[in-house]
């Protein structure tokens, strides 16, 4: 499915969703000066509680994890560590993002990473029919249900935001 408003370039995330026959809606905001997740939600006219940011962490064990939290919340590192059975997790350095995931800061998606990383989505997502997250490129978001997302990636739900 594609927006009728403007011609949207298809991202790899969109191709992967289509490949797995996962229904989604694409959203484009690239012609705006939206930078933060809250800006993106406002430009798209969406409730910021439904718009999620993708955060990549590294644990003391050296394992990497992906967490999705609403753009209006912060990742609670202690809760995140507990959710994945680690003593601690920390945000990775920006320069490590591209080599690890294939994505740049501001365009990181839980779908289509170089290698699948264990993913945890804030439990608040279960309260919505659909959520929005990066389509893998700055200026693009995809909207889908958790059921449709589960066709493409494995994830857990946990209370990880503050």
pLDDT digits (tens, 9 = 90+) for 77-118: 999 999 999 999 999 999 999 999 999 999 999 999 999 999
Residue 32, both tokens: 């705006």
H or E element in which residue 52 lies:
strand 52-59
Those residues whose C-beta lies under 8 Å from the C-beta of residue 107, and which sit 6 or more positions away, are: 134, 136, 137, 138, 140
Residue 30's pLDDT is 84
Position 7 confidence tier, pLDDT thresholds 50, 70, 90: low
Q: Which residues touch 33 (CB under 8 Å, ≥6 apart)?
A: 39
Domain assignments of the chain as residue spans, ordered by start:
12-158
Q: Which fold has domain 12-158?
A: YbaK protein (3.90.960)
> pLDDT confidence of 33, banded at 50, 70, 90?
confident
pLDDT at 9: 84
What confidence tens digit (pLDDT) does each residue in 67-82 have?
Answer: 999 999 999 999 999 9
pLDDT in tens, 43-62: 999 999 999 999 999 999 99
Q: 93 in helix, strand or coil?
A: coil
């Amino acid at each position: 499915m594609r927006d009728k408003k403007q011609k949207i370039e298809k991202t790899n995330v969109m191709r992967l969703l289509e490949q797995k026959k996962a229904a989604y809606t694409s959203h484009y905001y690239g012609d705006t000066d939206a930078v933060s997740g809250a800006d993106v939600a406002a430009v798209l006219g969406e409730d910021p509680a439904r718009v999620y940011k993708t955060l990549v962490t590294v644990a003391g064990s050296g394992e990497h994890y992906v967490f999705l939290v609403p753009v209006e919340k912060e990742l609670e590192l202690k809760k995140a560590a507990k959710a994945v059975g680690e003593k601690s997790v920390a945000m990775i350095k920006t320069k490590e993002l591209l080599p690890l995931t294939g994505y740049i800061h501001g365009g990181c998606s839980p779908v289509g990473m170089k290698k699948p990383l264990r993913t945890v989505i804030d439990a608040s997502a279960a309260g919505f029919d659909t959520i929005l997250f990066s389509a893998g490129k700055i200026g693009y978001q995809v909207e889908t249900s958790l059921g449709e997302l589960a066709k493409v990636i494995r994830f857990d739900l946990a209370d990880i935001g503050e």
